[in-house]
Amino acid sequence: MTEATAPIRARAAGAGWLAKLEGRISWILLGLAGLLLPLLDDSYIGVIAQRAYIYWVLSAGLNLVVGYAGQIAIGWVSMLTLGAYTTAALAAGNVGTPWPPYLALLASGVIGAVFGVIVGLPALRLRTFYFAMTTLGFATIVTQVALAWKDVTGGGVGTPGPTFPWPFDPGWGFYYFCFVLAALATWMTANIGASRYGRALVAIRDAEVAAEACGISKPALLMMVFLLAGALGGIAGGLFASLQSYITPDAFTFEMSVLFFIGILIGGRGSILGPALGTLILTVLPEFAAPLVQWSTFLYAALLLLIVLVIPGGIADLLDYKNRRPVPQPELLGRVLGTQGGNTLITLSGIELHFGGVRAIDGLDLEIRAGEVHGLIGPNGSGKTTTLNVISGYYRPQAGALRIDGADLAFEQPHVRAQWRIARTFQTPRLVGAASVLENVMIGGTVHGHGTFAESMLSLPRHRLDERVLEEAAMLALSSVGLESLAKVRADRLQHSELRFVEIARALMLRPACLMLDEPAAGLSAEEIRRLGGLIKAISRGGTAVLLVEHHADLIFDICDRVTVLNLGKVLAAGTPAEIRSHREVVSAYLGA
């Protein structure tokens, strides 16, 4: 693998360190400003900065939930409330003996993590809007409990916030505490964002079905993210309690929750730097425009509207290098991805699937063999895509069995198909428009990583190895479909035909034993179809079983070893291309004269 990508890497290395510096310069400047701010010796500015850091600790985690995973967690202020009361109550000795403040802060992180997961659970079942409402409902409950549970929280009168002892004592000590924690939160979430987990989150957001087909399990991943976002929210709460020095339930307003949420949206979804700046701006702005504070809700809304209309991608879009329109130069196809061929055999027997009264598949038998291209043709609505969806585990048929090498495959578990190395593309390409072509292809290899979520968060060696291997494999897959020159381009800048090839490259990342293509030639020019044919043929020669759904008869008859014709969910004919071409019923019903 290393050898094959060497020329590509060498070309990229030239501009490598400069591009790296360019990517980091904003962070370096922000870090320097933060480190040197105490030189101003202005405690008022210091307090504003502390508030901004604390908010960012929460927003950094929330950013993974909202910006990356696309979950509308609008009431995340509840984590701040929980954390603030946990730290304050424990440190003040409202429950048992007083805890050391640092330990109390740690406890608020744990409480935040636990409740982050609890609040996040509904996201697995509820649609976006309803999930937003549950997070808001939870925030209200937390405030009500804080009001009622007087022994611990002091009720409406409140309770004193903790004072951290040396080295992070009030003043610049505490300032650096907040700064370091904000930097740490940034570092960890940026690591996640740039890892296979981050790409998987974005895939869940923008192309959920494709994410599942790549083997990504939404529940497991979302729970990790809710846990991290909850923990960071809880810790932010503990810091907030100390900053406020006295906390009452009305310190945690709906407006604050909206601030966190909007800060991320203004920053731009799927970015770390954008939301960090967004949160910073929203925290600092009201301080310098005090008379406007009573208008803040209105101003937030106006600002959001403006951003959505003028720069829909947020601040991040203005800074985004991937946002440049490429000059497409797809190289000739032909460099083939080495697949480790086996003798996989996939059999469908007696599959029946109806949607209400519609018999989409009506007793289908099919065999797909390694090293062969199996064409699946038929008029529109004859059940081709549905057959693919059954094989990829998306639907559960009412009758029949699906086996791979004799083993029964379960239905309705699309993400488990990746373990059997069954990959697919979609009739309408499903890609993450905001991610680069390379990142999109890397999503296809998510299941091959070995590092855990925590290892990625801390950027440990196994995570880095994962990333290197994944990137190399993705570049190889891209070269094999002739698109390596577009690796760094945003996927939504590509032409339709290019998207189809990117999807194939993503599917190749699984090193598929079986590859299913749903009308890959649709929308392609004659020349592109010719290249596609060569590519598919080469993939099957490597030992992969290919199931090809297609309308272009020429392509089917050129490259298929075997063809099955469907009509109304039933097999109308099956055989070699020559047999099908001369099959009377097929010719009269489908192929025409």
Among 383, 397, 444, 445, binds ligand ADP (CB under 6 A): 383
Pairing of strands 373-377, 399-404: unpaired
For 250, residues 6+ apart whose C-beta sits below 8 A from its C-beta are: none
360 binds, among Mg ion, ligand ADP, none (CB under 5 to 8 A by kind): ligand ADP
- Nearest CB to ligand ADP, comparing residues 98 and 381: 381
Contact window for ligand ADP (CB under 6 A) among 108-116, 243-251, 384-392, 498-506? 384-392
- Nearest CB to ligand ADP, comparing residues 384 and 463: 384
* Residue 379: CB minimum distance to ligand ADP, A: 7
Contact window for ligand ADP (CB under 6 A) among 53-61, 218-226, 380-388, 584-592? 380-388
- Nearest CB to ligand ADP, comparing residues 381 and 400: 381
For 590, residues 6+ apart whose C-beta sits below 8 A from its C-beta are: 377, 378, 379, 565, 567, 572
As given in the structure block, the two tokens for residue 239 are: 């810091």
As given in the structure block, the two tokens for residue 525 are: 């020019």
Q: How many residues bind ligand ADP (CB under 6 A)?
A: 11
- Nearest CB to ligand ADP, comparing residues 358 and 465: 358
x/- letters, 84..123, toward ligand ADP (CB under 6 A)? ----------------------------------------
* Residue 65: CB minimum distance to ligand ADP, A: 29
DSSP string, 279-333: HHHHHHHHHH-GGGGGGHHHHHHHHHHHHHHH-TTHHHHHH-GGGSPP---PPPS
* Residue 82: CB minimum distance to Mg ion, A: 48
* Residue 392: CB minimum distance to ligand ADP, A: 13
CB atoms within 10 A of CB 550: 25
DSSP string, 504-542: HHHHHTT--SEEEEESTTTT--HHHHHHHHHHHHHHHHT
In one-letter notation, the amino acid at residue 226 is F
Contact window for ligand ADP (CB under 6 A) among 95-103, 223-231, 256-264, 374-382? 374-382
CB atoms within 10 A of CB 275: 29
- Nearest CB to ligand ADP, comparing residues 133 and 571: 571
3-state secondary structure at position 80 = helix
- Identify residues 309-368 at the interface with ligand ADP (CB under 6 A): 355, 358, 360
The reply on whether position 384 binds ligand ADP by CB under 6 A is yes
358 binds, among ligand ADP, Mg ion, none (CB under 5 to 8 A by kind): ligand ADP
- Identify residues 368-427 at the interface with Mg ion (CB under 5 A): 384-385, 427
Q: Strands, E, within 135-269: which ranges?
A: 159-160, 246-247
Contact window for ligand ADP (CB under 6 A) among 162-170, 280-288, 381-389, 501-509? 381-389
Give the Å distances, CA to CA, from 172 to 44, 46, 161. 11, 8, 18
x/- letters, 425..464, toward Mg ion (CB under 5 A)? --x-------------------------------------
3-state secondary structure at position 394 = coil
The reply on whether position 381 binds ligand ADP by CB under 6 A is yes
- Nearest CB to ligand ADP, comparing residues 161 and 569: 569
As given in the structure block, the two tokens for residue 463 are: 């995570």
**CB-based contact 589:567 (threshold 8 Å):** yes
CA gap 64, 229 in Å, rounded: 7
The reply on whether position 71 binds ligand ADP by CB under 6 A is no
* Residue 359: CB minimum distance to ligand ADP, A: 8
Pairing of strands 545-549, 562-567: unpaired
CA gap 381, 468 in Å, rounded: 43
* Residue 216: CB minimum distance to ligand ADP, A: 22
- Identify residues 385-424 at the interface with ligand ADP (CB under 6 A): 385-386
Bridge partners, residue 349, by sequence: 401
- Nearest CB to ligand ADP, comparing residues 94 and 386: 386
**CB-based contact 525:497 (threshold 8 Å):** yes
Torsion of the alpha carbons at 187, 190, 196 and 199, rounded to the nearest 10: 170
3-state secondary structure at position 562 = strand
Contact window for ligand ADP (CB under 6 A) among 76-84, 249-257, 379-387, 462-470? 379-387
DSSP string, 78-141: HHHHHHHHHHHHHHHTSSSSPPPHHHHHHHHHHHHHHHHHHHHGGGGTS-HHHHHHHHHHHHHH
Among 217, 382, 456, 479, binds ligand ADP (CB under 6 A): 382
Chain residues that interact with ligand ADP, rule: CB under 6 A: 355, 358, 360, 378, 380-386
Chain residues that interact with Mg ion, rule: CB under 5 A: 384-385, 427
